[in-house]
């Protein structure tokens, strides 16, 4: 009963928490920079096995407030998936079940704008997880893969200036290296979330140097051709 009450409280808090308005200057908004590790890329049949979130506020990554949880899948992923993400089968067997892990996710997302790299993966899996709890993913989503390509020429741009289809967007490590940013533990949710947070701050600051940026303008700049969402 206590666990059920905690889940209900987290769900109510997430659903009712005010989000920054679209006209909020980007540095004044709160962000949840998220990375997921999954058993595949199809949220209809694959599962989240690791979640990490680094909050960003005032143009800074709040590393001390980062959140992370592994998630026990319904079936164990293959050896290749476990090897890539550095997760042992024993880690996943000991991890919280999806309903319990969702509590950590809701608390991390509550009242914050979602940011991710090639965000169609995170939005697809999070939307599926939230739907099972009768919730919807709230607010705009900022995509650092697209934002990185919006950086003007002459400002250490990542890739081409024109927005490309999502399957040709730069990988997270490549985007970070192009801006001389550190890459933290690739293919681990906590490392990729921190890399994405630092990439978001750097790219938003470069875009701000051209013209003032708000939550809404960054959301608009994050739009790519969604017909090609296949890989990252």
pLDDT at 157 over 50: no
Taking alpha carbons only, the member of 122, 136, 101 closest to residue 19 is 136
Q: Which of 60, 87, 114, 92 is nearest to 189 (CA)?
A: 87
Cα angle for residues 130, 137, 66 (degrees, 5° grid): 85
CA gap 84, 31 in Å, rounded: 27
pLDDT of residue 166: 53
Pairing of the two strands 30-38 and 67-70 = unpaired
Tokens of 39: 């058993």
How high is the pLDDT of residue 8? 60
Instruction: Give pLDDT tens digits for 79-129.
Output: 777 677 778 889 999 999 999 999 999 999 999 999 999 999 999 999 999
Residue 52 has pLDDT above 80, yes or no: yes
Would you kindly state where each structural domain of the chain is located, as residue ranges?
25-226
**Is the pLDDT assigned to residue 131 strictly greater than 60?**
yes
pLDDT in tens, 147-156: 999 988 766 5
CA nearest neighbour of 123 among 107, 104, 94, 143:
143
The set of residues, in sequence order, having a beta carbon less than 8 Å from that of 83 and lying 6+ positions away, is: none
The CATH architecture that domain 25-226 belongs to is 2-Layer Sandwich (3.30)
Distant-in-sequence, close-in-space partners of 82: CB < 8 Å, separation ≥ 6 = 76, 88, 89, 92
DSSP letters, 73-106, are -SSPPPHHHHHHHT--HHHHHTSPPHHHHHHHHH
Task: Check pLDDT > 60 for residue 176.
Answer: yes
How far is 228 from 1, CA to CA, in rounded Å?
A: 44
In which band, very low, low, confident or very high, does the pLDDT at 170 lie, cut at 50, 70 and 90?
low
């Amino acid at each position: 009963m206590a666990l059920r009450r905690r889940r209900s409280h987290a769900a109510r808090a997430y659903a009712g928490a005010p989000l920054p308005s679209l006209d909020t200057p980007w540095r004044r908004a709160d962000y949840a920079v998220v990375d997921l590790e999954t058993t595949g890329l199809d949220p209809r049949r694959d599962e989240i096995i690791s979640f990490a979130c680094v909050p960003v506020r005032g143009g800074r990554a709040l590393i001390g407030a980062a959140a992370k949880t592994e998630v026990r899948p319904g079936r164990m992923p293959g050896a290749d998936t476990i090897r890539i993400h550095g997760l042992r089968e024993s880690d996943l067997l000991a991890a919280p079940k999806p309903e319990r892990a969702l509590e950590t996710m809701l608390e991390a997302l509550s009242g914050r704008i979602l940011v991710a790299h090639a965000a169609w993966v995170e939005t697809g899996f999070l939307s599926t997880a939230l739907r099972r709890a009768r919730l919807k993913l709230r607010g705009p989503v900022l995509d650092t893969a697209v934002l990185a390509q919006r950086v003007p020429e002459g400002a250490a741009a990542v890739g081409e200036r024109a927005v490309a289809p999502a399957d040709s967007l730069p990988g997270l490590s490549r985007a970070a290296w192009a801006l001389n940013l550190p890459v933290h533990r690739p293919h681990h949710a906590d490392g990729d979330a921190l890399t994405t947070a630092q990439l978001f701050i750097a790219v938003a600051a470069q875009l701000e140097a051209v013209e003032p940026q708000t939550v809404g303008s960054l959301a608009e700049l994050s739009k790519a051709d969604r017909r090609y969402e296949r890989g990252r």
